[in-house]
Amino acid sequence: MEKYLERTDFLDFDAKSVREFADLHTVDSRNDTEKAVKLYYAVRDGFQYDPYVLDLRREGLRASTLLTKTRGYCVEKAVLLAACVRAVGIPSRLSFYIVRNHIATNRLEKILEKNYLVFHGAAEIYLNGKWLKTTPAFDKRLCDFLGVEPIEFDGTADSIFQEFDKSGKVFMEYLHEYGDFDDLPYEKYLDELKSHYPHIFENGKYTKDELVYDFRR
């Protein structure tokens, strides 16, 4: 369990900004469950979900870097939540999935040339003797706009599946699980992106800087 409490390259909770963020949002918490729940909502709703700028630099994927922004995509927000949870002494890890009917738009599917997303990120938190999966990516404002219920977390059960929209239609389907990791598996992440979306890396259309891709271009 110790490895799930350690500082890592991407879960850099020893950074002053990460510790301050974690402390700020867990003030007056009575136990670890309350701390984890408060941090979940701070990350979920404090940063707008935005998959249109993909920063794949190592420094761009660190928890402390996301705190310099106002938005982030699923991997970034999962990394931030996992780091903040470790900052207050709660074990955490990351897990990743391939999903279809992801919270996306026709525009994003056109860019990716696929109707699924690889390496959709989640943070897993160890509370009361068990691992709980959480997905802090999709902020409440976005969910309201798209007509889906936001994914809630109460600290007792998984908070990962958003299978249906408010009308009962299938909205999100998990196709594959990569497993769990004590840190972001950086090389594997890049390899999967390049394998499934090679055109993004090959044609230079979206390249803003080295390993930074701007899909708004």
Please state the domain extents for the chain.
Answer: 7-214
Q: Which of 173, 71, 76, 161 is nearest to 115 (CA)?
A: 173
Residue 102 pLDDT greater than 60, yes or no: no
Instruction: Name the DSSP class of 121.
Output: E
Q: What is the pLDDT of residue 98?
A: 94
Measure the CA dihedral 184/105/112/135, to 10°. 10
The residues pairing with 126 across neighbouring beta strands, listed in sequence order, are: 131
- Please, what is the average pLDDT of the chain? 92
In the chain, the percentage of residues whose pLDDT exceeds 90 is 75
Q: Which two tokens stand for residue 61?
A: 């994927």
Mean pLDDT of 59-87: 97
Q: Which two tokens stand for residue 72?
A: 């982030």
Q: What is the pLDDT of residue 165?
A: 58
Q: Which of 117-131, 153-167, 192-206 has the highest mean pLDDT?
A: 117-131
The answer to whether 83 and 13 have CB atoms below 8 angstroms apart is: yes
Under 8 Å CB-to-CB from 79, ≥6 apart: which residues? 10, 11, 61, 62, 63, 66, 94, 121, 123, 184
Tens digits of per-residue pLDDT, 152-186? 999 999 998 666 556 666 567 889 999 999 999 99
- Of 1.10.287, 3.40.50, 3.10.620, 3.30.450, the CATH number of 7-214 is 3.10.620
pLDDT band with cut points at 50, 70 and 90 for residue 107:
confident
Q: Is the Cα dihedral 198, 56, 58, 178 positive or negative?
A: negative
